[in-house]
Structure 1
Amino acid sequence: MTARMRVMALMVVLLLGSLAGCASTPAPVEPLTGRLAGSVSEALDASVSLLLERGYVVRHADGDLGRVEAALARWPGYRIRLQVEPAERGSRIEMTAFQRGRPLPPALLQPWLMTLRSRLGAG
């Protein structure tokens, strides 16, 4: 390998290294959180019912962990992840929505939270 080829190879490596530093990391997912009246089990049941009514297919559900993940059965491929935990006088829910693997703004889930609250009581 000639000296010129070594210099060119070094320049390519340095250029690629500097470009790799420009890649941004995705923003952390910010869930919508809220309080619900009712136990974790009641909140999960109401959540799953609402998801099914809206055309979602429940992909994973674990009552012991308080988790549900569902995907919309038609285009554009929304996905919702729920986490329900016990809280003082009820339960606490975290909801995150995704489209094509990217997190959506938490405010889009506000109507879901309002519907769950109306089904379970004020919370």
Structure 2
Amino acid sequence: MEKKQLHPSVQRFKEFVKEHPEMVMEVRKGKATWQELFEEWYLLGEEDSRWNETKGTKEKEQDKKEWIPQIMNAVKNVDPNQLQGHITNLSQALGAIQGIILQFQGGKQGQTTSNNTTNQAPNPFQFRKD
């Protein structure tokens, strides 16, 4: 059997696809057909920004993979006592905001946030050391 020679533009497109394997994934996911990609490649050329978009998504995926170890390292370096202090401050700030909202709603008239500190409920975010 004699092997058919492909048109030179088809051969160049096949080489281009080898350099851009993300195009194969586009076709497999049903986002495009080979005919559509070939026509775009033929009309737009190899240097068009359309082909850089697929490279950009690969770089974005790599960036996503890199931020997870950064977060894990940040969590490892957290001082539990400092975290407890921040949570306490946040809890007090939320209590103050809640008191102001209640004053505007008319729930507790005449009571200020400084009076709340003596009548305050136990801190729900209190952490205890083992």
User: Which structure has the greater CA radius of gyration?
Assistant: 2
TM, length-normalised to structure 2 = 0.23
Q: Which has the higher strand share?
A: 1
> Quick one: higher RCO (CA 8 Å, sep 6+), 1 or 2?
1
